[in-house]
Structure 1
Amino acid sequence: MTDISISIPGEEAKAVAAGITAQEALKELLSKKQRKQAIAVLCNGEATDLSATLQADTVLELIQADSDEGVHILRHSSAHIMAQAVKELFGQDVKVAIGPSIEDGYYYDFDRDPAFNPDDFVAIEERMAEIVKARLPFERRMMPIAEALAFFSDQGEIYKVELLKDLEEKGEESVSLYQQGDFIDLCRGPHIPDTSWLKSFKLLRVAGSYWRGDEHNPMLTRIYGTAFSDKKDLKKYLNRIEEAKKRDHRKLGKELALFTIQDEVGPGLILWQPRGAMLRKLIEDYWKDAHYKNGYELLYTPHIARQDLWKTSGHLDFYGENMYSAMEIDEVAYQLKPMNCPFHIGIYNATKHSYREFPVRWCELGTVYRYERTGALHGLMRVRGFTQDDAHIFCRPDHLEEEIFNIIDLNLQVLKTFGFADYDVYLSTRPEKYVGSDEHWDLSTKALQGAMEKKGLAYEVDPGEGVFYGPKIDIKIKDQLGRSWQCSTIQVDFNLPERFGMTYTGQDGAEHQPIMIHRALMGSLERFIGVLIEHYAGAFPLWMAPEQARILNITDAQADYCSGIYSELRQAGVRVEQDLRNEKLNYKIREAQMMKTPYMLIIGDREMEEGTVTVRKRNGDNLPPMTPQEFADLVRKECEQGTA
């Protein structure tokens, strides 16, 4: 039998007989303690089952159960175990679709009438536990695609058959199947050695899901679950889910009277209530001031434009499915804007420009409209009408890297002010479908890279995720629960200036094309406010709290005095409300705390006599008595510190 060479990185190679399994090879190379947590291996860089046979020289690397790749494999295997449990419990009438691992867990899609619901979870989890206890091995085998089609057709698994037919059309001759017990699934793998490796799992929720994401296809039931290599990690994750439920911006938005969404108006369209409108105003005011200080000028543009504008920009070709249908005005087709960019270009093209004017920095809080499927709408996070904190910078080539650097500086400053100091940065490169020359794409990409490196920002490359007209930097902020949110983006664009014939007169007297930078720091106000609500659990810092203080009287005798203080504080710029109802003080305090009001000003006979207020913080701490003016000064100083 032919010998092959096996090794692990940094160690001496060893000769063994070909056909040895990866698990057997590890026994030749490592101690039992060293390989104890190996859930799979990398064979020459490719993730592989431990049961895989080695036929050529191989460098092996362990995939530990608690590593990112190990947890991914564990969750994928958990999806298979869940599908096995479902089939065994609910019979062959249940059809299985796909079951991948995802961030924080996995899911599996099932076709069943009636649909599954959370009441089914107890039985499914109990059956999964029995399968785990049985230590069923995950066995991989290759099967000719024609044989696989016949097998799954006999099983009535119509979704597997459709997937196999697609593979057959692509020229695939064979496919891999995995079996544990009597359950067989179409899968590339790899998987855990046997079911006993799944020790910590939990089913989480159900949702509807169209087959292959197409609303014209059957609606399936998607069961979500999660799995971890350690029970402590599972417990920590479940606690985080419970905390996330408490912080849900839709729940808090209703409780704190910030916004409402009504069917009579239309799904995905936000109605801002007074408290929410005040929160939004505070954020907008800060945004405008920060941009003015950084050399931007403010623009306002319309909500609709002639359809021809979107043809010129390329949005109809590349973005048409996200735009709303045209409307006819004076026998001319108009459409709601999905972007602000062409309007800013229109303002630029309204006058002649010299090289001396650059860079030109324009910003707008511009409301745009994009089609989202009803099933994808989610509170403030996914809507049909939203306001972008948009800006466009027009510059010369020699300004490009410095302008990107300045945008990054402003971006991080704004995020820090709102309480986000933890984030991940990505460089999104050229997609499969794009416009413009390769030369311009390379120049844009290098400028983005150079600015990030100059700033000392660590970043990852996100291949193919750029927009159709240029590469971009994406910044994903992390909230208090460690969840990532896509907000900030910086995009370099040579395409639109060319399409719209933008020029400036250079130092040489000739006409040149400016470079356009698209930029959003918060992404959209709606989404960003949704993230803020969940980040702070509705208890906003004082500078952005819609209601900074609430005046509470102890008896009716202090009502007039309270009203005077109310007027005085409002004149001093404090956002204050008063609760003069004939209710017990503790009841009014509790209500103010539930509304996350930072300060409660309690007034009884003593305070009225001394011309002071007793200040109670929302966490229950009390401050020394102070005059209304002293309290106004306290608020002002705390707000200045918050936005410094």
Structure 2
Amino acid sequence: MIKLTMPDGSVREYEKALNGFELAESISKSLAKKAVAVKIDGKIDDLCSEIAHDAKVEVVTKESPDGLELLRHDAAHVMAQAVQELFPGTHDTIGPVIENGFFYDFHREERFSEDDLEKIEKRMQEIVDRDEPIVREVWSKDEAIAYFKKIDEPYKVELVNDIPDGEDIRIYRQGDWLDLCRGPHLPSTGKLGKAFKLMRVSGAYWRGDAKNEQLQRIYGTAWTNEKELKAYLHMLEEAEKRDHRKLGREMDLFHLQEEAQGSVFWHPKGYRIWQALEQYIRRRLEESDYVEVKTPQLLDSKFWEQSGHWSKFRENMFVVPDEIPSTEEDAPVLSGEAEFMALKPMNCPAHVQIFKQGIKSYRDLPLRMAEFGCCHRNEAHGALHGLMRVRQMTQDDAHIFCREDQITAESVAFCELLQKVYRDLGFTDIAVKLATRPEVRAGEDAVWDKAEKGLEDALNAAGLEFEFAPGEGAFYGPKLEFHLRDAIGRTWQCGTLQLDFVLPERLDASYVGEDGGRHRPVMLHRAVLGTLERFIGIMIENYEGRFPLWLAPVQAVVTTITSDADEYARESYEKLRAAGLRVELDLRNEKINYKVREHSVAKVPVILVAGRREAEEKTFSIRRLGSKDQTVAGRDETIAALREEALPPDLAPARSAAKAAE
């Protein structure tokens, strides 16, 4: 008798072994129809896999996350089959699942074109219509090598050679086509459906090594149904319209250039957004009793060796040789104690050095130390992406040095601060993950147990729902990840809180306890925005450049219909500036519709139009960005209203409270 435990905890008994399809059929005919795989003791496998022992089981449908990943995996295989049917002689290599889709790498002398993608997609649909059974076979290593040599698939031969001797070689056959794969796969090509689309072709190197042959990578996306596919494609269209690089050019916010790879040239308008955001965060930190510090860009490599970053992040650090003194006279000026200096990729070791100056008492804790720290990371050229992935970045970084009994209170306070900031910046949909110990880590398991429990207790105390992210913690401690959802449904991981018992030990930080003895502080690494460059990029796309008035680089433009109103416009411009508003004056001899259109493209929130009548009556015709209507209001009334509207959320508590209540 075999006892199988279902996801709901119920137990079903079977007299003999059965496969995943038979299990699904024993539950219901409808489930058997929808089944695509089976999960046995947490491991997903083919629906044909036999269950011969007591186990926890789950029938997987393609509507589930596991089923969707399986579907995307099969889409890659069906694409590879289509390519080799259409273009004989093409060598296939590997085709993994990626976020929102899949890709497959091919070696072919001719370049794939956009027309080719249409042909491949059409052939994929034909393969789905054939509903070819997908059959798993197990071969010996020698058999697999001989076969792939025979059909001239050198990349498959190399992959098989890398499989350890004695390990099963899984082959999946669909019709006359087959591929080397660990699986699992759908029962047949018909189960894939047609909610897929091929997106683009790019270059790639075999196994990601530039020394190897260049391949062609075809990317695709696949979904459970047409509705999901259409929604995803619509999101991509929206994302293209909102691309921060495009809007950055149109709004004259920043630029990037080859001679400063991964570093941003902020233009005056873009830097106004930066300053408004930084000043806002600084005020929030002051409310929460943080102290602000400034630490060096260049630090001796010994700090990174002691902290453990040197061995883990060395290849991503910008390192410069440190000059060794040639004479004793030079010694006070030049340090000969280390061979290398490094531009800091993060601020934590430097903050520990400040903490260690002087004797700290338990009464001094918690010490909340913040820095808008400029850091550098040697990201690969191919990974750089506008403001989203840079080499020079500024973090709204802080480290909280506290006692163990203060962990929960400090963590809860941080969660409240983060939620308040995100709400003020227009983000209300936030998901929280608790990332636990990675395979390679520093510190004893007992310390990790304590740290993980500390963060879990803090989340429960804060009343926040969360999910676990096993193995995704930092190498020195577990962390909370805060994922915000933007206006078109994308998620971004920005805020973080990391609980660290390791670094204070490694860098010898201590305080005097109530007992007079020496104790190690706990270190909470935390950031709300993360990287300012990236967060501004996210905000540009979230708002589609239409910033709320307090963040807009230009809050209003005063422009004229006729030169008769020029003097009134100049006078109004000075009054608006005196009221603290970021305002521009446009007296060009152009038609008013042209000027309004130009300022609308630049995403100016308010256009104040003045003609002869407005000048005589001391009024404005007011046009709001995105509205075809215009209103007329008195100048003093308009300035007072805009001044109130332009207050940052922390300085306009009544308005902020009303917005939160909506």
Place the TM-score, normalised by the shorter chain, in its bin. over 0.9
Does residue 251 in structure 1 map to residue 258 in structure 2?
no
Task: After superposition, give the CA deviation of every residue in 1:92-143 in whole Å (9 maximum; x if it has no partner).
Answer: 2x22222122221111122233443434211111221221222221111111
Q: For 1:384-415, what per-residue CA distance to the aligned partner results, in whole angstroms no more than 9, with x for missing partners?
A: 11001100111112212211111111111111
Q: Deviations for 1:561-619, whole angstroms, at most 9, x for unmatched residues?
A: 21211111011111111222111111111111111111111111111001111111102
Match of 2:219 in 1: 224
Aligned to 2:379: 372
Corresponding residue for residue 308 of structure 1: 302
Greater displacement, 560-569 / 220-229: 220-229
Question: In structure 2, do the counterparts of structure 1 residues 103 and 405 end up closer, same or farther at CA, with 3 Å as the change threshold?
Answer: same
Question: Which residue of structure 2 lines up, in the alignment, with residue 116 of structure 1?
Answer: 112
Report the Cα offset of residue 17 of structure 1. Answer: 6.3
Residue aligned with 1:529, SS: helix
Instruction: Show the counterpart of 1:201.
Output: 196
Cα distance in 1 between the residues matched to 2:598 and 2:286: 39
Describe the superposition over 1:435-494 as per-residue Cα deviations: whole angstroms up to 9, x where unpaired: 223332222211111100111112122222222221111111111121111111111222
Question: What is the CA–CA distance in structure 1 between the aligned matches of 2:166 and 2:267, rounded to whole Å?
Answer: 57
Counterpart secondary structure, 2:163: helix
Preserved CA contact (<8 Å) 1:8 1:29: no
**Matched-pair contact (CA < 8 Å) for 1:6–1:16:** no
Question: Partner of 2:126: helix, strand, or coil?
Answer: helix
8 Å contact kept, 1:307–1:326 = no
Who is 1:447 aligned against?
454
Runs (4 or more) in structure 1 with deviation over 6 Å come to 3-12
Query: When the two structures are aligned, how many residues end up with a matched partner?
Result: 636
Report the equivalent of 1:140: 136
Q: What is the match of residue 159 of structure 1?
A: 155
CA distance, structure 1, for counterparts of residue 593 and residue 264 of structure 2? 34
Asked if structure 2 preserves the Cα contact closer than 8 Å seen for 1:121 and 1:203, the reply is: yes
Letter in 1 for 2:35: A
Distance 1:175 1:285, change over 3 A: same
1:192 maps to what in 2? 186
Number of the residue aligned with 1:426: 433
Please tell me the residue identity of whatever aligns with 1:429. Answer: T
1:304-343 equivalences in 2 (<5 Å): 304-329=298-323, 331=325, 332=336, 333-343=340-350
CA-CA distance at 1:498 after TM superposition: 1.8
Deviation at 1:330, TM superposition (A): 5.8
Alignment of 1:44-443 (within 5 A): 45-53=42-50, 55=52, 61-92=58-89, 94-168=90-164, 171-197=165-191, 198-264=193-259, 266-329=260-323, 331=325, 332=336, 333-443=340-450
User: Per-residue deviation at 1:21?
Assistant: 4.9
Q: Secondary structure at the match of 2:322?
A: strand
Distance between the aligned counterparts of 1:161 and 1:309, measured in 2? 46
Pick one of 23, 28, 31 that aligns with 1:30. Answer: 28
Q: Is the 8 A contact 1:569 1:628 kept in 2?
A: no
Contact 1:21 1:54 in 2 (8 A): yes
> What is the one-letter code of the residue matched to 1:23?
F
CA–CA distance in 2 between the matches of 1:144 and 1:182?
A: 20
Could you give the per-residue CA deviations for residues 220-252 of structure 1, whole angstroms, max 9, x where no partner exists?
322111122321221111111111111111111
- Opposite residue 559 of structure 1, the aligned amino acid is D
User: Matches of 1:9 and 1:307 in 2, distance apart?
Assistant: 51
- The match for 1:584 among 585, 591, 598 is 591
* Alpha carbons 2:438, 2:473 under 8 Å: kept: yes
What is the letter of the counterpart of residue 183 of structure 2? Answer: G
Native 8 Å contact 2:25 2:31 kept in 1: no
Secondary structure of 2:603's partner? coil
Q: Deviations over 1:239-279 (max 9, x none)?
A: 11111111111111112111111113x22111111111111
Does residue 510 of structure 2 align to residue 503 of structure 1?
yes
Pair 25,337 (structure 1): closer, same or farther in 2 beyond 3 Å: closer
Query: Do the aligned residues in 2 keep the contact of 1:370 with 1:384 (CA within 8 Å)?
Result: yes
Give the superposition deviation at 1:538: 1.1
Amino acid at match of 1:105: G
C-alpha contact (below 8 Å) 1:228/1:234 kept by paired residues: yes
CA deviation profile, 1:360-388 (whole Å, cap 9, x unmatched): 11111111000111111111111111001
* Shift in CA distance, 608/502, structure 1 to aligned 2, threshold 3 Å: same
- The alpha-carbon distance between structure 1 residues 580 and 467, as it changes in their structure 2 partners (threshold 3 A), is same
State whether residues 472 and 491 of structure 1, in contact with CA within 8 Å, keep that contact through their aligned partners in structure 2. yes
Match of 2:330 in 1: none
Q: Give the deviation of 1:182 after TM superposition.
A: 2.3
Q: Distance in 2 between matches of 1:6 and 1:337?
A: 54
**TM-score, normalising length from structure 2?**
0.91
8 Å Cα contact 1:561/1:608 also seen in 2: yes
Q: Which secondary structure state, in structure 2, belongs to the residue aligned with residue 133 of structure 1?
A: helix
Q: Is the 8 A contact 1:6 1:25 kept in 2?
A: no
Aligned 8 A contact 1:429 1:471 in 2? yes
For residues 618 and 180 of structure 2, the distance between their equivalents in structure 1, rounded to whole angstroms, comes to 78
More divergent stretch after superposition (106-115 vs 566-575): 106-115
One-letter identity of the residue aligned with 1:409? E
- Counterpart contact for 1:548–1:597, Cα < 8 Å: yes
Q: Aligned pair in 2 of structure 1 residues 445, 603: CA closer, same or farther (>3 Å)?
A: same
Which residue of structure 2 lines up, in the alignment, with residue 611 of structure 1? 618
- Once residues 283 and 642 of structure 1 are traced to their aligned partners in structure 2, the CA distance between those partners, rounded to angstroms, is 11
Q: Secondary structure at the match of 1:229?
A: coil
| CA-CA distance at 1:329 after TM superposition | 4.2
- Alpha-carbon distance in 2 for matches of 1:163, 1:416: 50
Contact 1:549–1:601 (8 Å) recurs in 2? yes
SS at the partner of 1:326? strand
CA contact (8 A) 1:390 1:519 kept: yes
Q: Percent identity?
A: 44
TM-score normalised by L of structure 1: 0.93
Q: Does structure 1 retain, via aligned residues, the 8 Å contact 2:24–2:31?
A: no
Cα distance in 1 between the residues matched to 2:206 and 2:300: 36
Q: Which amino acid letter does the alignment assign opposite residue 398 of structure 2?
A: A
Given that residues 444 and 471 in structure 1 are in contact (C-alpha distance below 8 angstroms), is that contact kept between their aligned partners in structure 2? yes
Deviation at 1:432, TM superposition (A): 2.1
CA 91–514 in structure 1, closer or farther in 2 if over 3 Å, else same:
same
| Unaligned 5+ runs, structure 2 | 326-335, 651-655, 657-662
Alpha-carbon separation, structure 1, partners of 2:433 and 2:635: 49
Shift of the 67–557 alpha-carbon distance from structure 1 to 2, 3 Å rule, reads same
Give, in whole Å, the separation in 2 of the partners of 1:613 and 1:296: 44
Q: Does 1:489 align with 2:496?
A: yes
- d(CA) in 2 for partners of 1:56, 1:341: 51
Q: Residue type matched to 2:62 in 1? A: A
| Structure 1 counterpart of 2:21, one-letter code | Q
Asked if residue 537 in structure 1 is aligned to residue 544 in structure 2, the reply is yes
**d(CA) in 2 for partners of 1:172 and 1:615?**
78
* Structure 1 residue 26: Cα displacement: 3.8
Instruction: Using the TM superposition, give the Cα deviation of residue 428 of structure 1 relative to its aligned residue in structure 2, in angstroms.
Output: 1.5
